[in-house]
C-alpha cells in the first residue's frame, strides 16, 4: 500500500503541490473552531455566534461553484491569489475585532460574509490538478483516495491546532494563523508548475454560461455528508444514554479511523475505474452499517460498527469525485468537483439539523436507521440519474465534424469532450471482425485497447473472457462500466484509464485487440503502441488490429495529410522477430456505416490478425 502512494508522490511536482494544498486546507480545519470561540467570547451570545457561523458556512458552500467557474474560465494562477488575499484580509480583520469583547455584530457579519464569498476552493483546485500531474488512470484513483483521506485528517488536526492556540493565547490568534495558512497555501498552489495555464479547446467558439452539476456524484456526496453530519449527535445521545458521555470521543475516533483505513485500502487495491455500480455498492453498506449501530448493546460495539461504517466513507467520496471529474468537459471540471463538495457540505449540515429534530421525538435505534437511510436511497438513485444535468454544461460547438487536424487540447481533454457531447458515440455493438475471429478462440485473458464505450469488452466478457479494457477518456470508461453492469459482466472486466502514449497496461494476454485505434489529435505514437500490444501477447495468444483503410466515403477529401497504413504495412511496422508469429488474416474488408446525414454507405477497413507461436 505504501509503495502505491509513494508512486503518486514521486510524480514530478506532485509532492510540492499536494503539500501546499494541504497547508491551505489546514486553514479551513482551524478557522471554524477559532471563529466559534472568538465569536462567542466577543458577542457573549451563543445565538449570535451561531448565526455568524451559519452565515460563513452557507456563503462558503453555496458560492463555491461560482468561484470554481471563475477558476475554470481564468485558471488558478489568475484567480487563487486575489481570492486568497481578500479572504486573508477578512480573517485578519475578524481576528483584530474579536481580540477584545464588544465588537459590533453588524461589522462581524459583514466581514464574515466577505470571508465566505472569497474563500478560495483549494481542495477542489487540487483535485483538478491531479489529472494534469498523473497520466496513469490507476495512479489518479490512488491520488484521489490519498487526497480524500488527507483532507479528513486536516479537519481532525485543525481543531486541535485551534484549541492549542486558544489555550496559549486567544481564539483570535487561531483566526490570524488561518489567514496566514490560506495565503501561503493558495499562493504556493497557484505558482506550482501543475497550475500553469493550459490551452483551451475551441477558443473560436462562443460558450454559454451554465451550471455543471454531476447529479449522481452529487447525490452520493450529499448522502455521505448526511451520514457524517448525523454521527456526532447520535454518538452523543448514545453515550449519554449509557452514562458515559466522555466516550463520544472514542466513537468519533472510530469513524475517522475507519474512513482513513477504507480510503487508503480502496486507493491501493482498486485497479479499475469506478462506475455507478461500484459507487452504489459503497453507499449501501455505509447506510446499513450506520443503521445497525443503533442496535449496539454497548459503546464498544457501537465504536466497532461506527468504524465499519467509516470504512465506506473515504471510498464513496473518492468514487464520487472521480466520476464527477470523468464526466465533466475540460472547461467545467472545477465546477463539477465544486458541486460535489457543496453537496457534501450541505448534506452534512442537513444531516446534523435533521438528527437534532429526530432525537427529540424518536427512539435512538430509529434515529440511527433514519440517519443511514439517505445512503441506501442514494445507492438506488445513482443508478438511475442521468450522467449530468442535461443542457447545463458549458459547451463549445459540436465536434463530430472534426477530422485528424491539430487541436489545442490534450488527447485526454479532446476525447472527454467528444464523449461528453453525446449520450452514446458508437452503436453499442461489438466490431464484426472481432466477433467473427474471436468466436472460435478459447476464452482466456484479453486486453482491449481504446475500448471506448465498451462494446467489444462486454461481448468478450459475456463469452467467458477476463478483460482488461483501456481508454484515455474517463467519460467513456464510466459509461462503459455502466453498460457492463447492465449486461451482468462487471466482475469480468477491469476498466483502466491510460494515455497509451505514455503508459501501457501491465501483464500478458491471450488476446490483444486494438480496433480503430486512431486519434484526431496529433502526437499519438500508434506504431509504438501497437508494438507494445504485440509484446503483450502471451505465447499461443492472438493479436487483432482493425483500422480504417481510407477516409469516410461521405467525405473523401478528409485527412489529406494522414496516412492510414494497409495491413501489410502495419505488419512490417510491428518489426516482429522472424519465426515467432503466424499471420492468420491480413487484408481489407467492407462494412456498412451510417453517415452523419443518415445515409447508409460502404466503408473499407483493414484487419491484421496474428498468432504468437508457443515455441
Determine, yes or no, domain membership for 111: yes
Is-contact 278 381, C-beta < 8 A?
no
Instruction: Report how far residue 486's alpha carbon sits from residue 36's, in angstroms, rounded to the nearest whole number.
Output: 49
Q: Are residues 183 and 56 part of one domain?
A: yes
For 118-133, the DSSP string reads H---HHHHHHHHHHHH
Q: Are residues 555 and 455 part of one domain?
A: yes
Instruction: Report how far residue 535's alpha carbon sits from residue 529's, in angstroms, rounded to the nearest whole number.
Output: 10
Q: Are residues 440 and 472 part of one domain?
A: yes
pLDDT of residue 403: 40
Question: Given a cut of 90, is residue 5 above it in pLDDT?
Answer: no
Confidence of residue 422 (pLDDT cuts 50, 70, 90): low
Which of 340, 371, 395 is the endpoint of a domain? 395
Determine, yes or no, domain membership for 407: no
Which has more confidence, 474 or 117?
Answer: 117
DSSP state letter for 394: -
pLDDT > 70 in the chain, percent: 87
Confidence of residue 590 (pLDDT cuts 50, 70, 90): confident
Residue 205's SS3 state is: coil
Determine, yes or no, domain membership for 205: no
Q: Are residues 224 and 179 part of one domain?
A: no
**pLDDT tens profile 438-492:** 888 999 999 999 888 899 999 999 999 999 999 988 888 888 888 898 899 988 9
Confidence of residue 597 (pLDDT cuts 50, 70, 90): low
Lowest mean pLDDT among 222-236, 400-414, 556-570, 577-591: 400-414
**pLDDT tens profile 307-332:** 999 999 999 998 898 888 777 766 77
Identify the bridge partners of residue 583 per DSSP, sorted by sequence position: 610
Nearest partner of 177 among 61, 168, 122, judged by Cα? 168
Nearest partner of 469 among 514, 532, 433, judged by Cα? 514
Q: What is the CATH number of the domain that holds 80?
A: 1.20.1250.20
Question: Given a cut of 50, is residue 393 above it in pLDDT?
Answer: no
Confidence of residue 202 (pLDDT cuts 50, 70, 90): very low
Q: Are residues 250 and 154 part of one domain?
A: no
Q: Are residues 353 and 385 part of one domain?
A: yes
Mean pLDDT of 54-78: 89
**Number of independent structural domains in the chain:** 3
Mean pLDDT of 407-417: 66
- 210 burial level (CB within 10 Å; 0-12, 13-18, 19+): middle
Mean pLDDT of 3-29: 85
Q: Are residues 235 and 189 part of one domain?
A: no
Mean pLDDT of 381-393: 60
Determine, yes or no, domain membership for 261: yes
Is the C-alpha dihedral spanning 550, 554, 559, 560 positive or negative?
Answer: positive
Q: Are residues 301 and 269 part of one domain?
A: yes
Residue 525's SS3 state is: coil
Mean pLDDT of 354-383: 91
pLDDT of residue 493: 92
Q: Are residues 318 and 182 part of one domain?
A: no
Q: Are residues 587 and 446 part of one domain?
A: yes
Q: Are residues 311 and 188 part of one domain?
A: no
Is-contact 357 271, C-beta < 8 A?
no
Question: Given a cut of 70, is residue 299 above it in pLDDT?
Answer: yes
**pLDDT tens profile 147-173:** 888 888 888 888 888 888 988 989 999
Instruction: Report how far residue 544's alpha carbon sits from residue 533's, in angstroms, rounded to the nearest whole number.
Output: 10
What's CA 11's distance to the chain center, in Å?
Answer: 19
**pLDDT tens profile 278-291:** 889 999 999 999 99
Question: Given a cut of 80, is residue 533 above it in pLDDT?
Answer: yes
pTM of this structure: 0.66
Indicate the angle between helix axes 455-462 and 474-487, nearest 10 degrees: 30
Determine, yes or no, domain membership for 410: no
pLDDT of residue 399: 35
Which has more confidence, 603 or 270?
Answer: 603
At 331, list the grid cell: 472547461
Determine, yes or no, domain membership for 202: no
Instruction: Report how far residue 557's alpha carbon sits from residue 441's, in angstroms, rounded to the nearest whole number.
Output: 39
Identify the bridge partners of residue 512 per DSSP, sorted by sequence position: 447, 543
Which of 197, 232, 260 is the endpoint of a domain? 197
User: How high does pLDDT run on average in the chain?
Assistant: 83
Instruction: Report how far residue 551's alpha carbon sits from residue 548's, in angstroms, rounded to the nearest whole number.
Output: 7
Q: What is the CATH number of the domain that holds 597?
A: 3.40.50.150
β strands within 443-483, DSSP E: 445-449, 466-471
Q: Are residues 517 and 445 part of one domain?
A: yes
Which of 150, 169, 197 is the endpoint of a domain? 197
Instruction: Report how far residue 501's alpha carbon sits from residue 470's, in angstroms, rounded to the nearest whole number.
Output: 12
Is-contact 247 301, C-beta < 8 A?
no
Question: Given a cut of 90, is residue 522 above it in pLDDT?
Answer: no
Instruction: Report how far residue 461's alpha carbon sits from residue 607's, in angstroms, rounded to the nearest whole number.
Output: 22
Which has more confidence, 316 or 570?
Answer: 316
Residue 306 domain boundaries: 213-395
Lowest mean pLDDT among 192-206, 347-361, 518-532, 551-565: 192-206
Determine, yes or no, domain membership for 163: yes
Determine, yes or no, domain membership for 590: yes
**pLDDT tens profile 36-58:** 888 888 888 888 888 888 888 88
Amino acid at each position: 500500500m505504501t509503495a502505491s502512494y509513494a508512486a503518486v508522490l514521486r510524480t514530478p511536482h506532485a509532492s510540492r503541490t499536494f503539500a501546499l494544498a494541504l497547508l491551505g486546507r489546514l486553514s479551513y480545519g482551524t478557522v471554524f473552531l477559532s471563529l466559534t470561540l472568538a465569536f462567542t467570547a466577543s458577542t457573549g451570545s451563543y445565538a449570535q455566534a451561531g448565526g455568524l457561523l451559519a452565515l460563513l458556512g452557507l456563503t462558503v458552500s453555496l458560492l463555491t461553484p461560482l468561484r470554481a467557474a471563475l477558476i475554470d474560465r481564468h485558471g488558478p494562477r489568475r484567480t487563487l491569489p486575489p481570492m486568497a488575499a481578500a479572504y486573508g484580509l477578512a480573517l485578519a480583520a475578524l481576528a483584530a475585532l474579536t481580540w477584545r469583547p464588544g465588537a459590533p455584530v453588524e461589522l462581524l457579519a459583514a466581514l464574515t460574509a466577505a470571508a465566505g464569498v472569497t474563500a478560495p476552493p483549494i481542495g477542489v483546485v487540487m483535485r483538478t490538478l491531479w489529472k494534469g500531474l498523473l497520466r496513469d488512470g490507476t495512479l489518479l484513483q490512488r491520488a484521489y483516495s490519498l487526497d480524500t483521506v488527507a483532507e479528513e485528517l486536516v479537519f481532525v488536526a485543525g481543531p486541535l491546532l485551534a484549541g492549542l492556540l486558544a489555550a496559549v493565547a486567544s481564539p483570535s490568534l487561531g483566526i490570524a494563523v488561518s489567514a496566514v495558512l490560506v495565503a501561503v497555501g493558495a499562493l504556493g498552489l497557484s505558482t506550482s508548475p501543475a497550475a500553469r495555464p493550459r490551452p483551451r479547446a475551441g477558443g473560436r467558439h462562443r460558450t454559454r454560461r451554465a451550471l455543471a452539476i454531476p447529479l449522481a456524484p452529487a447525490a452520493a456526496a450529499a448522502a455521505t455528508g448526511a451520514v457524517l453530519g448525523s454521527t456526532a449527535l447520535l454518538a452523543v445521545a448514545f453515550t449519554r444514554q449509557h452514562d458515559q458521555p466522555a466516550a463520544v470521543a472514542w466513537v468519533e475516533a472510530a469513524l475517522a479511523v475507519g474512513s482513513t483505513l477504507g480510503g487508503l485500502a480502496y486507493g491501493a487495491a482498486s485497479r479499475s475505474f469506478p462506475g455507478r455500480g461500484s459507487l452504489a455498492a459503497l453507499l449501501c453498506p455505509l447506510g446499513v452499517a450506520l443503521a445497525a449501530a443503533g442496535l449496539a448493546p454497548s459503546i464498544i460495539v457501537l465504536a466497532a460498527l461506527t468504524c465499519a461504517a467509516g470504512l465506506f466513507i473515504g471510498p464513496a467520496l473518492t468514487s464520487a469525485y472521480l466520476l464527477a471529474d470523468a464526466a465533466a468537459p475540460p472547461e467545467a471540471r472545477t465546477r463539477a468537483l465544486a458541486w460535489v463538495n457543496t453537496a457534501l457540505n450541505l448534506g452534512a449540515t442537513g444531516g446534523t439539523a435533521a438528527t437534532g429534530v429526530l432525537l427529540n421525538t424518536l427512539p435512538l435505534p430509529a434515529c440511527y436507521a433514519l440517519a443511514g437511510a439517505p445512503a441506501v436511497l442514494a445507492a438506488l438513485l445513482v443508478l438511475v440519474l442521468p450522467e449530468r444535468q442535461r443542457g447545463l454544461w458549458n459547451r463549445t460547438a459540436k465536434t463530430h465534424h472534426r477530422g485528424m487536424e491539430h487541436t489545442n487540447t490534450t488527447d485526454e481533454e479532446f476525447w472527454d469532450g467528444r464523449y461528453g457531447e453525446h449520450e452514446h458515440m458508437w452503436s453499442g455493438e461489438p466490431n464484426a471482425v472481432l466477433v467473427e475471429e474471436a468466436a472460435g478462440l478459447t476464452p482466456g485473458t484479453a486486453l482491449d485497447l481504446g475500448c471506448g464505450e465498451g462494446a467489444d469488452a462486454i461481448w468478450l466478457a459475456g463469452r467467458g473472457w477476463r478483460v482488461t479494457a483501456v481508454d484515455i477518456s474517463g467519460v467513456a470508461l464510466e459509461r462503459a462500466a455502466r453498460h457492463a453492469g447492465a449486461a451482468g459482466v462487471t466482475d469480468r472486466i477491469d476498466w483502466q484509464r491510460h494515455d497509451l502514449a505514455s503508459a501501457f497496461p501491465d501483464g500478458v494476454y491471450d488476446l490483444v485487440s486494438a480496433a480503430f485505434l486512431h486519434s484526431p489529435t496529433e502526437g499519438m505514437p500508434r506504431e509504438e503502441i501497437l508494438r507494445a500490444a504485440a509484446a503483450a501477447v502471451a505465447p499461443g495468444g492472438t493479436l487483432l488490429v482493425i483500422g480504417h483503410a481510407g477516409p469516410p466515403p461521405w467525405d473523401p477529401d478528409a485527412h489529406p495529410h494522414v496516412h492510414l497504413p494497409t495491413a501489410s504495412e502495419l505488419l512490417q511496422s510491428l518489426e516482429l522477430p522472424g519465426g515467432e508469429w503466424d499471420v492468420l488474416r491480413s487484408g481489407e474488408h467492407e462494412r456498412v456505416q451510417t453517415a452523419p446525414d443518415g445515409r447508409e454507405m460502404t466503408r473499407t477497413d483493414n484487419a491484421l490478425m496474428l498468432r504468437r507461436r508457443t515455441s
